Amino acid sequence: MEWIQAMDYWHWWSLAIVFLIMEMLLSGVFFLWMAVAAGLVGLLVWWRPELSWYYQFAWFAAISLLSVAAWHLYLRWAPAGADDGNGPKLNRRAEQYVGRSFVLEEPIVDGFGRLQVDDSLWRIEGPDCPAGTRVEVVGADGVVLQVAPAKAAE
């Protein structure tokens, strides 16, 4: 029990590193907040080395609980589904283009064609249209963009 009374700042920082390694191996964002708490308690002990071990553990527990609770509250108010680039369309690139309109450089013949979108050439499906027609992406089926003639601006 003597080792617990000799807790120094570097013990807490070492514990923070262990929690970060556990976070990388196990995932779940739980150990990340415990690592943050251990790091902050390490800073507190570095600043106030006379802090007794039971206050150190009390601070660790309080910061851990508060940070986990704050993270859950944040997730409730800003869900991961928000379309910020990390949302539900992250790995479904074709769906990111739904709603955008483009001008055809090549015609759509027999329901199929190709469309240059940003830096990629996409296969498109839709009604036959001549080159120069403005089309809107209305859906995606795998790597095929589904298009329809864009409505004229009023």
Query: For residue 86, how far is the Cα from the chain centroid?
Result: 4
Q: Are 125 and 135 in contact (CB under 8 A)?
A: no
- 25 phi, psi to nearest 5 deg: -80, -35
Q: Are residues 72 and 100 in the same domain?
A: no
Q: Are residues 119 and 65 in the same domain?
A: no
Q: Are residues 9 and 72 in the same domain?
A: yes
pLDDT at 49: 87
pLDDT at 3: 54
Query: Would you place residue 39 in the very low, low, confident or very high pLDDT band (cuts 50, 70, 90)?
Result: very high
Q: Are residues 109 and 143 in the same domain?
A: yes
pLDDT at 26: 87
Average pLDDT of the residues of the chain = 85
In the block, residue with structure tokens 């944040």 = 74
Query: What's the rounded Cα separation, in Å, for the pair 129 and 102?
Result: 13
pLDDT at 154: 43
Q: Are residues 64 and 101 in the same domain?
A: no
End-to-end, the C-alpha distance of the chain in Å comes to 79
Query: What's the rounded Cα separation, in Å, for the pair 44 and 53?
Result: 12
In a domain, 140, yes or no: yes
Q: Which domain holds residue 100?
A: 93-149
Q: Are residues 9 and 71 in the same domain?
A: yes
Please report, for the domain that includes residue 140, its CATH number. Answer: 2.40.50.140
Among candidate residues 76, 42, 41, 36, the one with its CA nearest the CA of residue 58: 41
In a domain, 6, yes or no: yes
Last residue of a domain, one of 51, 77, 103: 77
Query: What's the rounded Cα separation, in Å, for the pair 99 and 87?
Result: 17
> Is the confidence at residue 5, as pLDDT, over 80?
no
- 14 phi, psi to nearest 5 deg: -65, -40
Tell me the per-residue pLDDT of 68-121, one tens digit each, with 9 for 90 and over.
Answer: 999 889 888 876 555 555 555 556 788 888 889 999 999 999 999 999 888 889
Q: Are residues 67 and 104 in the same domain?
A: no
Tell me the per-residue pLDDT of 129-149, one tens digit each, with 9 for 90 and over.
Answer: 999 999 999 998 888 999 999
In a domain, 27, yes or no: yes
Query: For residue 121, how far is the Cα from the chain centroid?
Result: 27
Q: Are residues 71 and 129 in the same domain?
A: no
The number of folded domains in the chain is: 2
151: DSSP letter: P
Query: Would you place residue 37 in the very low, low, confident or very high pLDDT band (cuts 50, 70, 90)?
Result: very high
